[in-house]
A = this chain, B = another copy of it.
């Protein structure tokens, strides 16, 4: 680490030119066996590791793709973070009472990350991640854009203006965003159609006509599409569609709970609550059951996403599953296509969703929760 060896050092030790060293590393078959062995020995001997920066600079590609994520953990200022505490050798023991767990809060994003990484790995590329925390986001994303071959970003993570700026340097793929009039490739899921089918199920199979939609953030394109699907199903059934959701949360379980409590307090709980995502639905479920309402007997609750937590709630949540991991994979796939051919017009590729009927709509017998 004191004196990091370079191609020159390797070349000298092996008694060849730097060009040959480079060849041994990149196209070993173009080099004579004996020469190759000498070079490889020198590499091992010196502890040589090629400089990625120099390599990227000369090759005009970095072999990495950038993943931009929104501030999903709520940490947004450096000052707000306590330093890590180390052990003093003692182990404390506490009686841990049950409480509400924000289980699966990061799951959506974790899955997207994983999918991105997997597909990148398949193509021998690395993934560099950047989270839009705090005020320095701008700087962070520019830095990222400068060091990768392409960028995958969740919708609404990077301000439009900056995204446009970045996109002049590297291709951009937007995840879960609406296909607006931009120049980017998009990956979406069947939000509207999924919610339409889900709603129709409640309408037709369960004969419910009194149902309301619990939404997410007003500026969420996902939420918007889901609400549209909900309304569409209502109209198709000859029912009036509301102009807006009965309430809006921020896609967190905590907000779902408070919405549930509010509806209870105001006596506005309908026969079925169709929620815009699982977290919200689970929160609503919490509020309902702790107020003594039976789900699904008194109220039907449905979600959207299919996070793991929806699988272990009581009752298990009927929801619309979307392939989160494939979202990341599809984005990278699209990015690589674009890298190969920058001429093709901006694409929008849609991933399928699947309606999972479980306990919270009443499709399963009580014993299977």
Hey, which bits of chain A sit against chain B, CB under 8 A?
1-2, 4, 44, 47, 49-57, 62-64, 73, 75, 78, 81, 83-98, 101, 103-104, 106, 110, 113-114, 117-119, 121-122, 124, 126-131, 133, 136, 139-140, 142-148, 165-171, 189-190, 193-194, 196-197, 201, 308-309, 311-312, 316, 320, 326, 329-330, 333, 342, 349-358, 363-364, 368-369
Contact = CB atoms under 8 A, between A and B. Distances in A.
B81 A1 contact: no
Nearest to A183: B1
In the A-B complex, the 6 residue pairs with the closest CB atoms:
A52-B147, A47-B168, A53-B56, A52-B146, A87-B352, A93-B355
A112 to B, nearest CB: 12
Given A1-B171, A97-B368, A197-B93, A142 B311 contact: no
Nearest to A136: B124
20 contacts: A1-B168, A4-B169, A47-B168, A52-B148, A53-B62, A53-B147, A56-B147, A64-B128, A64-B147, A73-B114, A84-B119, A88-B352, A92-B352, A94-B356, A96-B356, A97-B368, A98-B364, A106-B114, A126-B143, A128-B129
Nearest to A95: B357
Interface of chain A: mostly helix, strand, loop or mixed? mixed
Contacts of A146: 49-53, 55
A118 B311 contact: no
Contact of A93 (B129, B145, B147, B354): B354
Given A49-B146, A52-B148, A124-B139, 4 more contacts: A49-B165, A96-B358, A106-B110, A309-B312
A137 to B, nearest CB: 10
Contacts of A119: 84
A242 to B, nearest CB: 22
B131 A129 contact: no
Nearest to A44: B165
Contacts of A1: 167-171, 342
B364 A95 contact: yes
B168 A357 contact: no
A85 B352 contact: yes
A2 to B, nearest CB: 8
Nearest to A170: B1
A53 B47 contact: no
Contact of A103 (B78, B106, B312): B312
A94 B354 contact: yes
A130 B126 contact: yes
B316 A98 contact: yes
Nearest to A57: B53
A91 B364 contact: no
